[in-house]
Structure 1
Amino acid sequence: MNLGIRQLETFRLFARTQSVTETARLMRVSQPAVSQTLKELEAQLGFALFVRSNGRTRLTIEANNVLPDVERLFAQMATLRGKAEELKDMRAGALSIASVPSFTARILPTALGAFRAERSQVRLRLEVYTASDVVRQIRQEYCDIGFAFMPLDEAGVAVQPLLRMSMVCLVPVGHPLASKPIITAGDLENETIIVHGAQTTPGFVLRESLRTEVESFQILTTNQSVASLHMVQCGMGIAFAHPLVLPFDPLGQVVAVPYERDVPLTFAMLYSRNRPVSRLVLQFEAILRKSITAFCHELKGKGLTCEVLV
């Protein structure tokens, strides 16, 4: 059986009008064309669609039984057409994101808010992971895009650098070092220093850049930059961290002071190499760029290093 949409559309209109003449008028075809189409459909189905009695036409029992399915099919097609138009205009669809926690304080929520204001029908999903889990989510294509620090070396995962910044010293307000324009290694000799563990990207970069200093410090370690900020807020020490965590300090309990030696960090967007980048992702990236630019401008106003890379 090879039913055609045109055949089913003719049958659907004929069922409503009970008239070949009216069906032909609505479809803007000739009456013989309608009659021929109905005959072809009857041959495909294997039963008659209508009978004539006392000069009137009525549907057969079999035709009445299949009519609800035909109506349902056309309703589904209308839904499909509407969804296709929404996707064409990027009004609908879905965008799933995996991110490290520190990116969820300011830049990412701001961008998501602006994106949703323009594309209110898009289904958004944001999940927060460690950096290694973000990479795994992208590699296994559970999420469309991810956000984490470089360097990353993972087959199947493409990297788009977003911004470059320098690690800073997070100092409690009121601490003698909080008013210094730059902190030196000598300033930290008698301080408790909070750093990322070596298994994290910021921790690895820090140790590669400041191997001698790090080995001489009295150190507390953590695997999350947000945790290091909270430890500073509680007066546990001074943290080497990246500026992305600063929005987690809305009350201004911590001061970010540059360190004498530059420890650069690059933050990036990740996506799968095995599938094309969707139009929704490109649209979101354009909005994200504005959010990143605003954040970098704010950091530079505080005398901190930040560079937009997109």
Structure 2
Amino acid sequence: MNLRQVEVFRMVMTNGTTARAADVLHVSQPAVSKMIQELERSLGFDLFQRIKGRLQPTQEGQLFFREVEQAFLGLTHLRGAAARIRDYGSGELRIACLSALSTNVLPRALHAFMQSNPNVGITFQARMSSNVRDLVASGQFDLGIVADEIDRTGVEVEEFAQFRVALAMPQGHPLEALDVIHPSDLDGQKFIALAPEDTTRREAEAVFERAGVTVRPVIETPYSTTICAMVAAGIGIGLVNPLTAEPYVDHGLVLRPFEPALHFRTLLITPPNRLPSRNLEEFIKQLRGAI
């Protein structure tokens, strides 16, 4: 079996007769018939039944045609990818990001990048940092933006940015009267906590322990956006990235500075042993600008 035989088979299936397939392929009808016969011999089953001089696809032929169509769709994608690579370098970017930056920094960076690179295809996913790390380490994604608690083996790591923690509370909460929140202000408060493995959560717990403060976790979540939504709904208070909280401020949520200073620290990660494309370098530049 060779690609030319498969192409001839596909033309017969899509055009209905060997004569029309021959016209499309600019070959003779006997040449088409011969290649179909050779393909059947190599496959070990009949692709067509010849009924009153007309070809009727067998059930096996129809099943084989489905697989052929999938293969040709793949070839079409390859041609498109090759054209994008020729014209724009690496013709697509695959980016994965922790949830906290997926609704603020990433959209701004993508908008700026796409203004000057409108033909570059973008794949974007918001995931937990550990999942982002796995996607990048396996080479499925070109860039990851993650929290600093990830396993750093198997990826190239670069410091990205840090964001000072703020305390989020529902509008009308008693703590809203304070200009700055200290650990002692949180004793006994209903608390929406980050996941146990989160570095910032562990640092906050150490601060609370030193201050002799006990908060009451009512919900745990790995997502800062979920904390903001829960706070805005009046469920409790939580430590958040102020950037993540932007859409919720004055919509059920109030922010106050927290002392002592805690930070969310983020990293950029890329697959190992892979030179960044021109497009990736430009996007990282836009990403840093969006901070």
Q: TM-score, normalised on structure 1?
A: 0.62
1 CA distance for matches of 2:258 and 2:221?
20
Over residues 197-228 of structure 1, what are the superposed CA-to-partner deviations in whole Å (9 max), with x where a residue is unaligned? 21234323433444445861112222221111
Over residues 151-184 of structure 1, what are the superposed CA-to-partner deviations in whole Å (9 max), with x where a residue is unaligned? 4332121222221122211011222212322112
Give the C-alpha shift of residue 252 in structure 1: 3.3
1:182 to 180, 183, 188: 180
Match of 2:269 in 1: 270
Match of 2:283 in 1: 284
Superposed, 1:1-310 pairs within 5 Å as 83=84, 85-88=86-89, 93-212=91-210, 216-220=214-218, 221-249=220-248, 251-292=250-291
Give the C-alpha shift of residue 250 in structure 1: 5.8
1 CA distance for matches of 2:222 and 2:169?
19
Other structure's SS at 2:197 match? coil
2 CA distance for matches of 1:134 and 1:157?
11
2 CA distance for matches of 1:291 and 1:244?
11
Q: What residue identity is the alignment partner of 2:175?
A: L
Which runs of 5 or more structure 2 residues have no equivalent in the other structure?
1-26, 32-78
1 CA distance for matches of 2:172 and 2:285?
40
1 CA distance for matches of 2:212 and 2:143?
34
Match of 2:44 in 1: none
Other structure's SS at 1:152 match? coil
Which runs of 5 or more structure 1 residues have no equivalent in the other structure?
1-60, 66-77, 293-310
Alpha-carbon contact 1:98-1:145 (below 8 Å) kept: yes
1 CA distance for matches of 2:211 and 2:223?
21
Other structure's SS at 1:216 match? coil
Identity over aligned pairs, percent: 23
2 CA distance for matches of 1:173 and 1:243?
16
Provide the aligned C-alpha RMSD in A.
2.6
Give the C-alpha shift of residue 251 in structure 1: 4.7
Over residues 258-287 of structure 1, what are the superposed CA-to-partner deviations in whole Å (9 max), with x where a residue is unaligned? 112111221121112221122111100111
1 CA distance for matches of 2:140 and 2:255?
36
CA change 1:81–1:192 in 2 (3 A) is closer
Count of residues paired in the alignment: 215
Give the C-alpha shift of residue 193 in structure 1: 1.7
CA change 1:186–1:86 in 2 (3 A) is same
Other structure's SS at 1:143 match? coil
Other structure's SS at 2:180 match? coil
2 CA distance for matches of 1:107 and 1:209?
29
Over residues 30-58 of structure 1, what are the superposed CA-to-partner deviations in whole Å (9 max), with x where a residue is unaligned? xxxxxxxxxxxxxxxxxxxxxxxxxxxxx
Other structure's SS at 1:113 match? helix
CA change 1:84–1:275 in 2 (3 A) is closer
CA change 1:81–1:231 in 2 (3 A) is closer
Over residues 4-30 of structure 1, what are the superposed CA-to-partner deviations in whole Å (9 max), with x where a residue is unaligned? xxxxxxxxxxxxxxxxxxxxxxxxxxx
Q: TM-score, normalised on structure 2?
A: 0.66
Alpha-carbon contact 2:88-2:120 (below 8 Å) kept: no
Alpha-carbon contact 2:84-2:120 (below 8 Å) kept: no
Q: What residue identity is the alignment partner of 2:260?
A: R
Alpha-carbon contact 2:147-2:265 (below 8 Å) kept: yes
CA change 1:106–1:100 in 2 (3 A) is same
Bigger Cα Rg: 1
Higher mean alpha-carbon deviation, 120-129 vs 175-184, is at 175-184
2 CA distance for matches of 1:214 and 1:159?
36
